[in-house]
Amino acid sequence: MKKFVSLFLCALLCMSLLAGCANDTTDPTDASVNDATNAATAGDAAADPAENDKFVVGICQLVTHDALDAATQGFKDALIAELGEENVEFIEQNAAGEANTCVTIVNDFVSKEVDLIMANATAALQAAANATLDIPILGTSITEYGVALEIADFNGTVGGNISGTSDLAPLDEQAQMVIDLVPDAQTVGLLYCSAEPNSEYQVKVVREYLENAGLTVEDFAFSASSDVAQVAEAAAAACDALYIPTDNTAASCTETINNVVLPTGTPIIAGEAGICGGCGIATLSISYYELGKTTGAMAAKILKGEADIAEMPIEYDNNPVKKYNAVNCAELNIAVPEDYEPLA
């Protein structure tokens, strides 16, 4: 009986194997099947790189004002022109003038593993530098990188994962504007934010130049926008002319400064066009839009693997232009030399 059962089970097994072979009609060497399979696989592979090739760029801008806005726009325009709009995604954040908010913003960029960070203004650059040693960081609207990043004997190249562009215009020529446009001035006030190290650097240079020219120079520093009106009022009362460097806090408060200072008849020489347009009479200024475009071109080289950020020197706008505020000059009876251009 056991022998019969064994023979019966063997027969069933053979029949099952034969049926399986009969149902499997696919030839593993069939070219049409392989082509279809390979095409599907290739399609999936093509989809993935397209997804990966879209670069994500985080933009941290300290505060809203004309100069920084122009730099950000120039950066985006240049990067889109180089990479194509479909290949780059911007995560754009504004810190509303708060350095601590810059820290939060860039830490979020790092957690998202963005491909590059653009830091617009000193506080944004400092926050980014402290947040990552790996993600490329490009600064813009930074006056002096050695000061901003506390680099002793700065030689023009930061190294590591940081580079960018500087908005520094010749400070000696800006100081000379005070002498040229307000020749009767004896006392000059330096109005700036003490919380911005680049502002302190600029006023130090300008102070030395003006004192060497025989003028009395006084500092009028505010620590936050809430102090601007009071400090500006004191400066206007004590001085014959004022100088404001490229200072982000001052740039965001030009209307306040103008309302306090202009009625006193005290002229202001400004470090950049946005401040000049808001409360000044003249400036030796760069184009922040062009500065942003230069930064964008640098970013494109980094993202495309054409340049090593560690070896990229800081770049400058080498064509500053003398400009004047026609309304304020007329109000204060300032004679403007012919080599000055009116602000747009």
Q: Which residue has the higher pLDDT, 148 or 26?
A: 148
User: According to the model, what pLDDT value does residue 285 have?
Assistant: 87
| Average pLDDT score over the chain | 88
User: According to the model, what pLDDT value does residue 52 have?
Assistant: 55
pLDDT at 306 over 70: yes
Residue 56 Rama label (left phi>0; alpha psi -120 to 50; beta)? beta
Tens digits of residue pLDDT in 184-215: 999 999 999 999 999 999 999 999 999 999 99
Question: Span 251-263, mean pLDDT?
Answer: 97
Interhelix angle for 171-181 vs 197-212, to 10°?
Answer: 50
User: According to the model, what pLDDT value does residue 344 have?
Assistant: 84
Fold of the CATH domain 171-285+321-342: Rossmann fold (3.40.50)
Do residues 115 and 89 touch, judged by C-beta distance below 8 A?
no
pLDDT at 35 over 50: no
Percent of the chain with pLDDT over 90: 83
Give the start-to-end residue ranges of the domains of the chain: 54-167+287-313, 171-285+321-342
**What three-state secondary structure class fits 339?**
coil
pLDDT band for position 271 (50/70/90)? very high
pLDDT at 22 over 70: no
pLDDT at 218 over 90: yes
pLDDT at 36 over 90: no
pLDDT at 25 over 80: no
pLDDT band for position 343 (50/70/90)? very high
Domains 54-167+287-313 and 171-285+321-342 share a fold: yes
User: According to the model, what pLDDT value does residue 31 have?
Assistant: 39
User: According to the model, what pLDDT value does residue 37 have?
Assistant: 38
pLDDT at 43 over 90: no
Query: Sheet of 162-166: strands edge to edge?
Result: 88-94, 55-61, 116-120, 137-142, 162-166, 315-316
Q: Which residue has the higher pLDDT, 22 or 110?
A: 110
Q: Which of 13-17, 54-58, 157-161, 222-226 has the lowest mean pLDDT?
A: 13-17
Question: Span 307-314, mean pLDDT?
Answer: 98
The C-alpha atoms of residue 238 and residue 188 are separated, in whole angstroms, by 9
Fold of the CATH domain 54-167+287-313: Rossmann fold (3.40.50)
User: According to the model, what pLDDT value does residue 34 have?
Assistant: 40
pLDDT band for position 24 (50/70/90)? very low
- Please calculate the CA angle 284-60-141 and round it to the nearest 5 degrees: 15
pLDDT band for position 293 (50/70/90)? very high
pLDDT at 111 over 90: yes
- Scan for tokens 């006084």, then name that residue: 218
Question: Span 222-238, mean pLDDT?
Answer: 97
pLDDT at 169 over 70: yes
